Structure formats: structure tokens, C-alpha cells
Amino acid sequence: MKQRLIFSILCFGLISFRAASEIAQTCTSDQGTFRPNGTYDANRRLILASLPSNVTAQNGFLYNTSIGQEPNRVYGVGMCMPGSVQEDCSRCLKYASDWLIGSCPNQIAAYIWYIWSSDPKLCYVRYSNSSFSGSADLEPKYVVYFTADITSNLTEFKMIWEGLTLSMISATSASKNTPSSSNNHYKADVATFTKFQNIYAVMQCTPDSSNVDCDNCLRESVSDYQSCCGHKIGGYTMRPICFFRWQFYPFCNVFDNITILASPPPPTLEHPSLAVDQSNATKNAIVEIVVPIVVIFIIIIIVLVLLARRSAILCWRRKTYQEIGLDQSGMTNVRSIQFDLKTIEVATGKFARINKLGEGGFGEVFKGTLSNGIEVAVKRLSETSAQGAQEFKNEVVVAKLQHRNLVRLLGFCLEGEEKILVYEFVPNKSLDYFLF
């Protein structure tokens, strides 16, 4: 039962901290469908399968191609964000292509912005039966947001967020004259919100987009997000030719080389105490995350220690029973009870010399009084006793017998190196009954 409890706790920990890939794909239904397993389907699979190797072979992480003859010709494009590692880019494109095949089984056109979470990287895949090079397509669109709300400093946040997104739109839409590179229409930036929080954002347009089309696409995306989710703690929008994402923590490994600049001081608010509230909210959020994790690990450690201790005790008992030649079931059948060493030490005054009755070849005998007032004779077997363990075994076996000429064995103690027998003390009996 305890082992199952530990396994459940560990599984809970692992499940709590596991990240899933973030996927936003759109199957374009208004362009029609194709017959599965036909020529168009085969060409689509071929072009998607070719993207991982061909995109990574390009310095700009961008590849456009087409396969087949009309009317079954398929146009395709694959792209990874600037600074991608070839292996990560290839995997991201493969997963994105596989996802499109599975999610859009017979749609003639589809696109996907895919964030692969093993080593987060953003990639883009699109296919269609007509060329989309330099297109200004804004539909279909896709908006995703986190469900939690920004609970304080919302006015200040909106001002900083709007300033950041507007400056990023201008920078992203300005062409770098590298239409064959994914860096042509791309921007990642950070703005300071509070002492403990920054706003991280990424914008990207397809490299062959015109400056005007890129600007228009990003403005529409930012506007769509503001309309539905401006008070949320993060989200993203995607369209066929542009992508926008923001949140309060870094993502996609694109912010490492960006210097975080402080935002301009906001105008005086009607309630200045709001700035303090955000700081407290952040601290509370940190506590709410860290404390449960620490508690879980402490519980795991305590349970493991208890199990290890229990296992060690059982192991020691088995070893001791084996040493004296008596198995545990045999010991259980004896009607005597097992005393702990502390009880015996209290009864004999820690084996005080004044309570010593005598000494034999096996060891010493002490008189003692239990907590219930019963007087006992305590036989403490010596470690160097010639009789030793055999004496102990014989006494326990004899304890099963009931005879008027035998002194009754009340119990025993097996603890550490101690082997102790506890007899009923009969004042009128000769000391030989206890010594031999």
C-alpha cells in the first residue's frame, strides 16, 4: 500500500511538471476536399515528408516547393524561426507535417504554426493546390489564450503591452531584404511590467510577404486578441501569413540575447496602491507554486525513511531468528510476549548491581519489577556465553510446556546484541532454577 502511495505521488509530480506541444492548425475547408489515397493525397504526403530535410539544408530555414502535375499539383512551404538548431527544426517540421496529415485527412489546403515543447521551437508548414507565394491571406484565423486573468495593474499593463506590440509590428513588417530567410519578417522583444514580471512577445510573417501585408496581418491579429482576451495572462493568434504570441515568461528559447529595457514610467494612477498589489500577487503566486512542491517531496522522504526503517527491522529480526535457529512462525506460537529493552532496563534499574541475583555460564540474573507490580527474574545472556543462542532457543521451546516444577517464562527480548529471558520470580524457589 505504501509503495503504491509513493508511486502515485511521483506520478502526480511528473504529470504536474510535464509540458505539452502547443499546436494551432487550420484545415481550409472552403478550398474543397480530395479523394483519400489518390494522386493528390500521395503528392501531399511526398511534399510534407520532404520538408524536414530540405528546410534545414537552407541557411535561412525556409523552403518553398511543389510536386506533381495539374490538377493534382501540391504547393508546400516549411519554415523554422531564426536561430533554430537544425535537429530541432527538422523534428518540429516532421511533427507539424504528421499533425496536418492526421488532422486534415482530405482537405485540399491547410497550414499550421507548431511549437515543439521538448526544446521549444516554432515552425510553420503550409500546403495547397495553388501557389500562395506572396499571398496576403488573412483567413482562416486562430486565436488561443490562457484562461487566467490579470488581476491587478490592468490599466498600466495595457499601456505597456500596446506600446510593445506597436513597436514590434513596425519592426517586423519592415523588410530586411532577405526574402529567402525566415529572419526577413521576424521580431522578438521584451518589456518590463513589474519588478517581478516581464512581457515577452514574438511576431513573424512569412518571408515573402510584402511590408504592407505583414503590417496589416499583425495589426489584425493584435486587434483580435485585444477584443477577446486583452485581460488574460497570455496567448497567441495565427493567420496563414503571420503569427503573434506573448506571455509573462520566456518561450521558444528566443529571448536569451535580448536586453530587457525598462518601460517608460506610467502616468499617475488614481490608486497608486495597485502597483504594490501586483508585487504581492506575484509573491503569493511563487509561494503557491513552491510550497506544495516542497511539501510533496518532504512527504516522499518521510514515507521512504519509514519504509526503509521497517524493512531494516524486519531484516534484523529474520537474521536474529535464523541465528538462534528459530523461525518467526515458531516464535509467534510461543505464548510468551516480547519485551522491549527499555521496559526491562526500567524494571531492573538498568541492570543495577543491587538487583543482581547471581551469575552462571550463560550470563547474569537480575531481580526486577514490572510497571504492573509483578516481580520477575531477568536472565541476560552474555555475548561470550558458551551456551548463548542455543540456551535462548531451549528456554523459549520449554516455555511451551506447563509443569509445576518449572519456573514460568513470561517473555523475552531480542534487541541489538541483547538476548534476554524474563521469568516469573518465585521467592521460595532455589536460585538454581534461574541460573541453570
Radius of gyration of the chain, Cα coordinates, nearest whole angstrom: 39
290 or 284, greater pLDDT: 290
Q: What is the pLDDT of residues 120-169, one digit of tens each?
A: 578 999 999 999 988 888 888 889 888 899 998 999 999 999 999 999 99
Alpha carbons within 13 angstroms on the beta-carbon side of residue 13 total: 15
Query: What would the pLDDT profile of 229-267 be if each residue is shown by its tens digit?
Result: 999 999 999 999 999 999 998 887 788 777 665 554 444
| Range in 23-37, 275-289, 334-348 with the lowest mean pLDDT | 275-289
Q: Phi/psi at 101 (nearest 5 deg)?
A: -60, -40
**114, 210 in Cβ contact below 8 A?**
no
State how beta strands 337-338 and 409-415 pair: parallel
pLDDT, residue 68, reads: 95
Fold assignment, 19-133: Killer Toxin P4; Chain A (3.30.430)
The pLDDT score that the predictor gives to residue 117 is 62
Q: What is the pLDDT of residues 35-94, one digit of tens each?
A: 999 999 999 999 999 999 999 888 788 999 999 999 999 999 999 988 888 888 899 999
- Spatial contact of 142 and 112, defined as CB atoms under 8 Å apart: no
Class for the domain spanning 148-247: alpha beta
pTM of the model: 0.54
* Residues 394-401: contacts with CB under 8 Å, at least 24 apart: 395/421, 396/326, 396/331, 396/334, 396/336, 396/421, 399/334, 399/335, 399/336, 400/333, 400/334, 400/335
Q: Which CATH superfamily is domain 337-435 in?
A: Phosphorylase Kinase; domain 1 (3.30.200.20)
pLDDT(435) > 60? no
pLDDT of residue 359: 81
Annotated binding residue at 379?
A: yes
Closest CA to 241 of 140, 143, 165: 140
Same fold, 19-133 and 148-247: yes
Sequence ranges of the domains in the chain: 19-133, 148-247, 337-435
Among 209, 25, 207, which residue's Cα sits nearest to residue 103?
Answer: 25
The least confident of 184-193, 201-210, 240-249, 425-434 is 425-434
Residues with Cβ within 8 Å of 306's Cβ and at least 6 positions away in sequence, in order, are 2
* pLDDT tier, 226 (very low <50, low <70, confident <90, very high otherwise): very high
**pLDDT cut 90: percent of the chain above it:** 38
CB contact at 8 A, 245 and 145: no
Higher confidence at residue 275 or residue 189? 189
